Structure 1
């Protein structure tokens, strides 16, 4: 059996307390890599131990197999469990016996029709949802599915307490971002991702990996199977052991590639949407992000895949498509909610922008407040001085404009007390005419009649 960490046991206790209080839907939020499967297995064990039946479902077959292994290790009575993909459960509702508890993993998908169909069928059965990020591109919340949310520790806390590996992120923007277009889902369209990928010089991908992560067990995330195959081929041309695996790769071949990667026979594993949820290789210490995304869920799952804890491990994240500019660093504090939210994430540079920057010397992604890059020692003092000078110049301009406005108002009051026949310049006619509400041509005609305009 697993020995739960204190924070995992706290999640178990808080969840059981919420159910005891009468909540029919409880959403448990804990970061990727924090061991949600252990918490799920313990809750399932406690339920089956008392003779209760558990219905567990998730959206991918690989995750079903993984949770079965976790249940067995935790001593869960599988005779009292139904463990399937969500599609299979939805198609068998009329044949399934009523469970005592429903458990859903990766429950950010809970708004999908198949999930709602199951929830509605077993409407009086308590449900638990587990996720690393309760966030959907549509902005729609989960308050109609879950009445209570329980949050686990933050990413920062997990790093500080040696439950996740610390990381260094390097940020590039290799492609032409003007090619990216959002589709109906809120994320970038396949066509625009394809156009974007064509603007990437793939040789730069290999160069940056050799510079920052040479020899590290690495997962590369791509937007398409074809692009993943091309990137793997480029790595092999550089004499680096690299292979591509996807959902259409024959099962035996895919299993061999995955096992070779775990065993260290394959250094770089390129994929398209295959390795985002549940894939656990603790000694993988680098990820390369080549798929631009508007999804915070996708970003966190992919960027944090290399942060599974091992002693003395320092993870490397190479974001070559600028996702960090949309979402910040993986360990930034985030406020989760069951309520609806704005559709798109905050953007860098706005009044609420993400306070990060890229070091021009080493390309490390660091907090914007740093005067010295903690990765390479580069000094930002010259830039801060220029920024201060620009702000002073801007302030002086504002003050100057304010002074001009005061002088203009004073002149206007003076002219309103005079007879226009005494005016000696077109400017005086223009100020007087504007103050009196005359049409713009009035000042020109009066000035011309007086011989001030030729």
Structure 2
């Protein structure tokens, strides 16, 4: 019996839920709708990209598609961009009762399996030893333009290619339209929060290292120079101080710039009697699992890491038990919107009465905005901005409370909504409707976003959108308006 989608008003016929020897792949309404939309597109297209925020359930969608394809006798590859993500994906498929092999360094090959979980670095050298796939699922597919990824895709033009990404944009701002034909966008992060699929959160920004003059390398800050700026005893001591004030006892993950920086963070917390450990991609696999399981059991309060708990990492699958992260300490400045969103997503998995805490010691929220800010995703990408921030055309930057360091939206209320401290009203650079006060609360964030959406939807021409961008004080109103306009045109149904 068709039912209404929880995300829009469409009537959809839900796909049958596949069951194997493991637990059922149970999809939410919006996931079912995304699969229905993708099936429709795949009647004429072979390369489809699913966009869904971190924590929205891309892995569940992939597991459902794999189960359906296996039942039809198809060959499927699931491709991970880092070797350490293979184990987590394998554990997830085992949970759903999907037999599979692994193509990755250190694992024996079993080409008899119709499903293979693959590390791209290994697959690109072994792909000709395997039966050709009918379906390839690309996890974190915004990396697909890399040479190894592109070579695999080019070798299988007759296969169906399904990409998964929360942030389908490359660091250089270029799009993915050379690699995918259609993009299926799921509900926004704001919608997922409002409907309880993601947790609400508080964002505190005590300040980060001065990044002026830091060299850029491959679209991001130079790791060596960033580490020199960030790995300072005072900055790390501030992390402990503010964590104690705002997140004491919360299960925490910290992100360091490099191994030495992450180790120093863990050592600082451990010296204060807080059970903390460091992990990175080079940590022995058995030690890594042991530490993650201790973290899940509550024996460790925190884990500090370097590029481990980011894209595609399934903590619960590695721990083999349900576990949520309650606090994120971000100490690694980045120009990558994708990295920023992935880090924040670690603390957004919902739990009863949970309010996540994000401690921004890197200045990343100033560069990229709030996690649930409205973003227009298209396959054509985004314009590159000279200032380096991914949020130059977004709402004005928030005010930081001088007492508790909560980030409060502009224009600010008279007092901090978290600690009650008086907030000095900042001069207004653009017109703001009278009485429209912005606080960090979810209700106020929603009101501001609804108003922005109404204003945007009322613009019927490219010129009206450009004028709106000027009124909002955007640095590049013409480029912003053109991006919104192109996104609208892409969503219009084709005329028969």
Decide: shared fold, TM above 0.5.
yes
| SS state at 1:102 partner | strand
TM-aligned CA distance change 1:199 to 1:74, over 3 Å: closer
Residue 75 of structure 1, CA deviation: 4.1
- Preserved contact between residue 49 and residue 77 of structure 1 (Cα < 8 Å): no
Q: Report what 2:287 is aligned to.
A: 253
Q: 1:337 aligns with which of 366, 378, 389?
A: 378
Structure 1: gaps of 5 or more residues:
392-454
Q: Does 1:2 align with 2:25?
A: yes
Cα deviation, residue 198, structure 1? 4.2
Indicate if the aligned counterparts of 1:348 and 1:354 stay in contact, CA closer than 8 A: no
Tell me the TM-score normalized by structure 1.
0.80
Question: CA shift at 1:363, angstroms?
Answer: 0.9
Label 1:49 to 1:321 Cα distance change in 2 as closer, same or farther (>3 A). Answer: same
Q: Distance in 1 between matches of 2:391 and 2:168?
A: 25
Structure in which a larger fraction of residues adopt helix: 1
Give the whole-Å Cα distance in 1 for the aligned partners of 2:184 and 2:75: 23
The correspondence for 1:11, drawn from 27, 34, 47, is 34
**Which residue pairs with 1:191 in the alignment?**
224
- What is the rounded CA distance, in whole Å, between the counterparts of 2:128 and 2:429 in structure 1? 72
Q: Aligned equivalents of 1:179 and 1:244: distance in 2? A: 29
Tell me by how many angstroms 1:62 deviates: 3.3
Q: Which residue of 1 aligns with 2:150?
A: 116
Equivalent residues of 1:48, 1:77 under 8 A apart: no
SS of 2:221's partner is: coil
Partner SS for 1:93 = helix
Q: What aligned pairs does 1:55-454 form with structure 2 within 5 A after superposition?
A: 55-76=77-98, 78=100, 79-178=113-212, 180-183=214-217, 185-199=218-232, 201=234, 202-277=236-311, 278-281=313-316, 282-344=323-385, 347=389, 354-372=396-414, 373-380=416-423, 382-383=424-425, 387=427
Q: Which whole-Å deviations, capped at 9, do the CAs of 1:94-152 have from their partners, x for residues lacking one? A: 22212111111111111111110011100121100001111211111100110100011
Q: Cα deviation per residue 1:272-304 (whole Å; 9 max; x = unaligned)?
A: 111112233542100000000000010011122
The CA RMSD over aligned residues, in Å, is: 2.2
Larger Rg: 1
- 1:58, distance to aligned residue in structure 2 (A): 1.0
Q: 2:388 and 2:375 mapped to 1: Cα distance?
A: 12
Aligned positions, number = 386
CA distance in 1, matches of 2:65, 2:122: 23
Deviation sequence 1:328-368 (CA, Å, 0-9, x none): 11111111111032224774996755442212232111211
CA 1:309–1:25: 2 relative to 1, 3 Å: same
